[in-house]
Structure 1
Amino acid sequence: METPDLSGAACADDFVSDWKRKRLKKGAHLTRQEQPETDEFVLLGGCLVSSICDQDGKEVSVGLYVGPCVITPNIARTRDGVSLVSIVATTDAQLAWIDSELLSNWMISSEPIRNWANGVLRDALSRKVDREWCLAGLKGAQRLTWFRQAFPGYEDIFPHTMIASFLGFTPVTMSRLRADEKH
């Protein structure tokens, strides 16, 4: 399903003016796991990765973003106002952001904005379900094929260690799968 376009909405200019801009340098955090987080983000340019770190310090990539795109909505990446993920810039990045409560107020007062935001959320949740299906239902080589179809060109953008983590296998397995394809 395609996210509705806001360009014709009467309130579009006012809505856009409520978004702020921010720049991140490569390596900078947009969010940190277990820290307060109440914003919504649109990646205008650059690349980000979201990850979860377990109690043993093992980090797992759960989202890869290349701008322009919407970062997974706040409701799907926080609990009780606390971030469940860390999001880090893998390149210099430009973002637009708005407080989630302000966006909710816009959604209540404007049907086009409500439709747009609900479309963004549906798209994000659909991508998450696709990844979960991939992890649960596909073997290694099939996962890599799925990744290449779902995220064309990302293999040339993100470190293979992040992609391997995102696909639920080790960097060694990723390297072997790539080598097997060449034979």
Structure 2
Amino acid sequence: MSGAAVLRELHRVGPLRTALTAALVAGYAILLTRDAAVRHAEACASAALVRATGTAATCAGDSTLYRVEGLLVGHTTTIGCSALVLLLPFVAVTALLLPVRRVPLVVPVGALATAAVVVVAVNQLRLLTIASGVRAWGLERGYGATHVLAGTVVSTVGIVAGGLVFLVLIVRGSRLLARAEVAP
């Protein structure tokens, strides 16, 4: 596609939709390049959840630290364990839907926001599961069982739940808004 054809297509889509799509993609790219700050925020949220269960915990960088049997242990939120990476498919689909004029803007934006809340909450639940397993069964056994087995199950269920919520909101939201526009 030539540069002129791209400009004609962007003009047809409209400046607001083009700007929103560009802002979404740029914002997500910025978050990916600033992943250390995102992972730090996730570690601090995880520490707050661990504290809510009655265990003293703190965050340091991208790690959540707490004591088990007198030892300072914890878990580190790597980029592969971050909710940021888990949100990629939702951001990609939203970026593809924003330019579609037949889809009201509120539908993909609302679906993305809702899916993001589900995915972030479930990822925090996964990190709390890991901390609970380590506290209950010790570092080696607890971390191995909860990170590999239980953590994977929680993440999978969370991503599927987030995906279903996202799809339902996209499909039903578009239908509901279409009906509202037709109604007198």
TM-score range, shorter chain: 0.3 to 0.5
Larger Rg: 2
Structure of greater relative contact order (alpha carbons < 8 Å, 6+ residues apart): 1
Higher fraction of strand = 1
Q: Tell me the TM-score normalised to structure 1 length.
A: 0.32
TM-score normalised according to structure 2 size: 0.32
Normalized per residue, which structure has more helix? 2
